[in-house]
């Protein structure tokens, strides 16, 4: 099978959502929002489950280290923080992600492998609450996507 080439980050969102649904990381009643603003920066994708698990996903085709910093910053605001990439990161990037508490999902041929599982964080309550309010304002139900 010919390998799928992704041209822009947004194309990673569809396989990501399928994966999250298959793995029951989100359900139809979860909220999802793209490009959520927080502290003057944008988080590519945020989900909030009915059990109140708030997860951030930063999407990046390649050059993982550049977005690892942002994904690490998200750990102050969400319960889990992931970096989703179309190019397999090097071993040291995986080690760094583990140290920074960031999970890594690798998208290849529309399939996703979880290379690093994101740990559950203890975000700053006020900051998390602000983000929850924002996703409730701009998010849509996964069922409606």
Partner 1 sequence: MFEGHEHFLSFGSTDQETLRVLEGCYNGLLVPGTVAALQREGTGGFLLALSAAQARTAYVIDPRSPLFQQPLPAVKASFGVLASIFRYPEAATPGVIPSPSDFTDERVTAMAEGWLAFNEGYLSDSGSKFEKYAMRLNQNVRPDDARGPSAMLSPYMVAVSDDWWQVSLRLHEATLAAKPKLKAAPVVAVDDPAALATRASDLADRDIAVWVSGLDELDSTADSLLHYAQSLAAIATSGKRTFALYGGFVAVTLLGRGLDGFSHGIGYGDHRTWIELPSSGAPGPRYYIPEAHRYASREMAQRLFTIDPSLVVCGCAACGGRPPLTIEYHELMQHSVLCRAAEVAAMRTANLADVADDLDGYHERFADVIAGSPVNGTVVGKRLLELGEHLPIWSEVLRGI
If one asks whether residue 126 binds partner 1 (CB under 8 A), the answer comes out as yes
User: What is the per-residue DSSP string for 69-114?
Assistant: HHHHHHTTTSSEEEEEESSPPPHHHHHHHHHHT-EEEEEETTEEEE
Instruction: Provide, rounded to whole angstroms, the least separation between the CB of residue 97 and partner 1.
Output: 8
Q: Which stretch binds partner 1 (CB under 8 A): 25-33, 46-54, 95-103, 137-145?
A: 95-103
Q: Which stretch binds partner 1 (CB under 8 A): 24-32, 53-61, 68-76, 131-139?
A: 68-76
62, 84 Cβ separation under 8 angstroms? no
SS3 of the chain: helix, strand, coil, percent, to 5? 35, 30, 35
For partner 1 (CB under 8 A), the number of binding residues is 17
Using CB under 8 A, pick the residue from 76, 87, 94, 114 that binds partner 1: 76
If one asks whether residue 53 binds partner 1 (CB under 8 A), the answer comes out as no
Instruction: Provide, rounded to whole angstroms, the least separation between the CB of residue 72 and partner 1.
Output: 5
If one asks whether residue 85 binds partner 1 (CB under 8 A), the answer comes out as no
Using CB under 8 A, pick the residue from 14, 18, 23, 39 that binds partner 1: 39
Residues binding partner 1 (CB under 8 A): 39-41, 65-66, 68-69, 72-73, 76-77, 96, 99-100, 124, 126-127
């Amino acid at each position: 099978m010919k390998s799928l080439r992704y041209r822009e980050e947004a194309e990673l969102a569809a396989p990501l959502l399928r994966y999250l649904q298959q793995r029951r990381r989100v359900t139809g009643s979860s909220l999802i929002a793209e490009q959520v603003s927080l502290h003057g920066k944008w988080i590519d994708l945020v989900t909030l489950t009915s059990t109140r698990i708030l997860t951030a996903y930063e999407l990046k085709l390649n050059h993982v280290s550049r977005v690892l910093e942002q994904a690490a910053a998200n750990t102050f605001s969400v319960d889990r923080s992931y970096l989703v990439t179309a190019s397999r990161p090097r071993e040291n990037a995986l080690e760094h992600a583990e140290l920074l508490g960031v999970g890594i999902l690798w998208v290849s041929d529309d399939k996703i492998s979880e290379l690093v599982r994101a740990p559950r964080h203890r975000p700053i309550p006020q900051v998390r609450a602000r983000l929850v309010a924002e996703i409730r304002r701009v998010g849509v139900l996964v069922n409606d996507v």
